[in-house]
Amino acid sequence: ELLLPKDEGSVVRMASTTRSRTRSKNSAEVLQLDVVQRIRTDRVLRAQNEEKWIVNLKAHLAGDLESLDAGDARACGKIAGDYDVDDGGMLLYCLCGGRDDGDRDRLEKLVVPEYLQ
């Protein structure tokens, strides 16, 4: 069955529309910011893996004490409680100050190697 309008006034005419340039520009900017963030993260991670004390501390936090000599293991043991490693392998400094673990995520700071600062 084909339905036809009774009069032309009841038919709606629609024009084709496109998205505005500002919206596509904003999504391109977001994509670009995501790429820049990924590049920065890769640079910091690479720099963290070049500094001896950070590599030693990451090994200590992972439980790989066999790769450390006694002095390095002792030094890392003194400060290991203030640091954590995220899922991507980035070393984070945790400002716990006697708070419970629920606040720990909120107070983490990225450890940036000295020559990148």
**Across residues 86-100, what is the average pLDDT?**
79
**Across residues 12-28, what is the average pLDDT?**
63
Task: Tell me the pLDDT tens digit for each residue of 58-75.
Answer: 999 999 999 899 999 999
pLDDT at 112 over 80: yes
Residue 114 has a pLDDT of: 85
**Domain spans, the chain:** 21-50+80-116
Q: Tell me, letter by letter, the H, E, C secondary structure of the chain.
A: CCCCCCCHHHCCCCCCCCCCHHHHHHHHHHHHHHHHHHHHHHHHHHHHCCCHHHHHHHHHHHCCHHHCCHHHHHHHHHHHHHEEECCCCCEEEECCCCCCHHHHHHHEEECCCHHHC
pTM of the full structure: 0.64
